[in-house]
Structure 1
Amino acid sequence: MRAVALGGGHGLHATLSAVRRVTPDVTAIVTVADDGGSSGRLRRELGLLPPGDLRQAFAAFAAEDGGTLWAEVFQHRFGGDGALAGHAVGNLLLAGLFEVLGDPVAALDEARRLMGVSGRVLPMSPEPLEIEGEVSGLDSEDPSALRRIRGQVAVASTPGQVRRVSLRSPGASARPPVACEEAVEAVLAADVVFLGPGSWFTSVLPHLLVPELHDALVRTTATKAIVLNLVPQPGETAGFSPERHLDVLSEHAPLLRVDAVIADRDSVPDPANLRRAAARLGARAHLGAVADPEVAGRHDPDALARCMREALGLGRDGEHGGGAKGREGQQWR
């Protein structure tokens, strides 16, 4: 079963850790709009794709493939107060590969071979993108007034309420963002596509704002599943109910239809409302105990994998159990 997971950061890490328990054939498609921390510094200084979210995906694959040392090294950040302070080892390695090979996809495939991981990591675009957000609540005289703010960090940390986001290509170009061709091909060839969890406006929705990737997500015959966050995020989605996440997704991509919505049972105050919101997208809601009982705000990969199998109609060992469909509308065997 060919699986594709779209997202970024810790949310994508959670999905990949679970999906690898369902199938070994997994491709991660990663957002490339980060402008903060080590990634932002490398992006500004070298003009490269921000590597941080890509690094997180590799670390997830390495941990699941038994490469715990590689996962730890990739995630290790240098201390001190020198030029390397705050940089993650994986970020520097990926930046070096980007510069030497000159092709981000070739560089990521080489990192995959170097680490010996089975999963593939692709950027959603071959060029770094910029997020713009329309935010209310920043004007004390008129709280309903919309202000436009630019940059992933600014959108993610705004004290206002994010209403809508859009993507800009590098520089002053007015052209729409360009999709990574290999990412589009992976979505079209997939048996199942997962979107979320993660920072809703800055890691999840951006994939739907790249025209070619959006069209592939609408056209693919894969089963499409959304994994919801465990809790609203301060700034981006403060005060959002689980169903509001789905409504915002539909507002940004009204043509997108999905098959399943996966959520933590204890994170859904009104299951009936969530089921109605899922139905508006053409989906069925699957509620389970998928939160890690020992770490607040984190999904348990084993529990999430079990819920994924249920949503896809698969048995414990990946055998078809009825319900989900694969390529050309055929049930998996």
Structure 2
Amino acid sequence: MDKSTGGSQSPVLGSLTCLGGGHGLFQTLRAGRHLDVDRITAVVTVADDGGSSGRIRQELGQIPPGDLRMALAALSRDNEEGRLWEETLQHRFGGYGALAGHAVGNLLIAGLTDILGSQVQALDTVAKLTQSHGRVLPVCEQPLEIEAEVAGLGDEPMAVRPVRGQVAVASTTGNVRRVRLFPEHPPGGVDAVAAIRSADMVTLGPGSWFTSVIPHILVPDITRALIETDACRVVILNLTAEPGETAGFSTERHIHMLTQHAPDLRIDHIIIDSTVISSDVERSYLARAAATIGADVAFEPVRADDGDGGWVNRHDPVKLASALQRVYTRHVSERPQR
């Protein structure tokens, strides 16, 4: 699957599969567009129960389309028509009526799903309209629900209580210990599993750890594909802890949570922005945590700047693309086959 550029013999990604949801996945897919990749596939979480997506899920029984829509917007062709489609997909109706708050893209996906009888076909149809750089697939072809074990709620700080629903988990004021899916052990999307197995590189994160990242590894078919794939497997860590669900988490605790939820999972590389940890001691803690899942740590300049000498809490797609290429080049040179 690996290709090489003319005289430099630098490995070029043939296919990239990105797992996640929301704004984190959006930035990773944007980064993928800056790489010389023949095929980009987004594998997207389907547990959203809030806003426009939640209403469509409740009223129509469909997979919540919001994160899928954002991924399609991220992959829209970079020309006048593609940019118009991106803006259209992301546009939300105002006012106070029945359409208020709905994103046009959510309604388009829902309508095409009704017509075609398949959400995957609906997503592929929208991808054709947007001249997409790649394909967008649900991690599972049925709506999922997240439940978290949360400590620190109410009058008993050590008591652990269940909190159900993506919005509730993401906004909890307690300390999330663990999450599970309902239904338990759902089947992974057939095309999503195939995209992981056939990729040159698979990325997981950044994003809301318990509601956009970890749910993927709670789908047994997806975890099995991640374990068995020959792809270079990369975790992209967040720039900061998420308010609510991961408030107060250290960087190494994010890794420990992956291990807790998928003990057999192995990762090849972990990318973290070089400005996030300055202490050598903290970097050593992260390196030890990474080693428990077989990974090394790449400290890379991937944070976006504000144009005025400061930083913003967002990955820069161009910088992230460069970091992914460097990691992949090192991976191929050091471990050409597993």
TM over 0.5: yes
Cα distance in 1, alignment partners of residues 314 and 59 from structure 2: 33
Measured on the aligned residues, the alpha-carbon RMSD in Å equals 1.6
Instruction: Name the structure 1 match of 2:138.
Output: 123
Helix, strand or coil at the partner of 2:27: helix
Q: Quote how far apart the aligned CAs of 1:296 are.
A: 1.9
Matched, 1:158 2:172: yes
Is the CA contact 1:20–1:64 (under 8 Å) kept in the aligned structure 2?
A: no
Instruction: Name the structure 2 match of 1:231.
Output: 240
Among 294, 301, 309, the residue aligned to 2:317: 301
Matched, 1:147 2:156: no
Q: Quote how far apart the aligned CAs of 1:281 are.
A: 1.2
Residues 118-174 of structure 1, C-alpha deviations (whole Å, 9 max, x = no match):
20000001100000100000131x2111101110001000000110000002xxxxx
Among 288, 293, 298, the residue aligned to 1:276: 288
Helix, strand or coil at the partner of 2:158: coil
Q: Quote how far apart the aligned CAs of 1:21 are.
A: 1.4
Is the CA contact 1:65–1:117 (under 8 Å) kept in the aligned structure 2?
A: no
Is the CA contact 1:137–1:145 (under 8 Å) kept in the aligned structure 2?
A: yes
Among 230, 243, 263, the residue aligned to 1:254: 263
C-alpha distance 29-177 of structure 1, shift in aligned 2 (>3 A) = same
Residues 225-274 of structure 1, C-alpha deviations (whole Å, 9 max, x = no match):
00000110011100111111111111111101111000111112422221
The answer to which of 267-276 and 102-111 deviates more is: 267-276
Q: Quote how far apart the aligned CAs of 1:214 are.
A: 1.2
Is the CA contact 1:126–1:180 (under 8 Å) kept in the aligned structure 2?
A: yes
Cα distance in 2, alignment partners of residues 44 and 291 from structure 1: 37
Matched, 1:167 2:181: yes
Cα distance in 2, alignment partners of residues 272 and 281 from structure 1: 15
Is the CA contact 1:65–1:118 (under 8 Å) kept in the aligned structure 2?
A: no
Helix, strand or coil at the partner of 2:88: helix
Instruction: Name the structure 2 match of 1:16.
Output: 29
Q: Which runs of 5+ in 1 are unaligned?
A: 170-174, 315-319
Instruction: Name the structure 1 match of 2:6.
Output: none
Is the CA contact 1:312–1:324 (under 8 Å) kept in the aligned structure 2?
A: no
Is the CA contact 2:24–2:206 (under 8 Å) kept in the aligned structure 1?
A: yes
Q: Superposition pairs for residues 94-133 of structure 1, below 5 Å? A: 94-133=109-148
Cα distance in 2, alignment partners of residues 113 and 200 from structure 1: 31
Instruction: Name the structure 1 match of 2:219.
Output: 210
Matched, 1:198 2:207: yes
Matched, 1:38 2:65: no
The answer to which of 52-61 and 264-273 deviates more is: 264-273
Helix, strand or coil at the partner of 2:305: coil
Cα distance in 2, alignment partners of residues 64 and 213 from structure 1: 30
Cα distance in 2, alignment partners of residues 324 and 100 from structure 1: 47
Residues 175-226 of structure 1, C-alpha deviations (whole Å, 9 max, x = no match):
6312111111111111110000000000000000011111111111111000
Is the CA contact 1:21–1:305 (under 8 Å) kept in the aligned structure 2?
A: yes
Matched, 1:71 2:83: no
Cα distance in 1, alignment partners of residues 300 and 134 from structure 2: 26
**Letter of the 1:42 counterpart:** I
Instruction: Name the structure 2 match of 1:86.
Output: 101
Instruction: Name the structure 1 match of 2:9.
Output: none
Is the CA contact 1:50–1:128 (under 8 Å) kept in the aligned structure 2?
A: yes
Among 131, 144, 153, the residue aligned to 1:138: 153
Cα distance in 2, alignment partners of residues 87 and 222 from structure 1: 37
Q: Quote how far apart the aligned CAs of 1:110 are.
A: 1.1
Helix, strand or coil at the partner of 2:238: coil
TM-score using structure 2 length:
0.90
Cα distance in 2, alignment partners of residues 277 and 21 from structure 1: 30
Is the CA contact 2:44–2:68 (under 8 Å) kept in the aligned structure 1?
A: yes
Instruction: Name the structure 2 match of 1:317.
Output: none
Cα distance in 2, alignment partners of residues 19 and 143 from structure 1: 43
Query: How many residues were matched structurally?
Result: 316
**Letter of the 1:80 counterpart:** G
Cα distance in 1, alignment partners of residues 32 and 284 from structure 2: 27
Is the CA contact 1:311–1:324 (under 8 Å) kept in the aligned structure 2?
A: no
Cα distance in 1, alignment partners of residues 216 and 197 from structure 2: 14
Q: Quote how far apart the aligned CAs of 1:65 are.
A: 6.5
Cα distance in 2, alignment partners of residues 156 and 324 from structure 1: 37
Q: Percent identity?
A: 53
Q: Quote how far apart the aligned CAs of 1:64 are.
A: 4.8
**Letter of the 2:207 counterpart:** G
Cα distance in 1, alignment partners of residues 289 and 128 from structure 2: 42
Q: Which runs of 5+ in 2 are unaligned?
A: 1-13
Cα distance in 1, alignment partners of residues 19 and 78 from structure 2: 18
The answer to which of 279-288 and 223-232 deviates more is: 279-288
Instruction: Name the structure 1 match of 2:10.
Output: none
Matched, 1:244 2:259: no
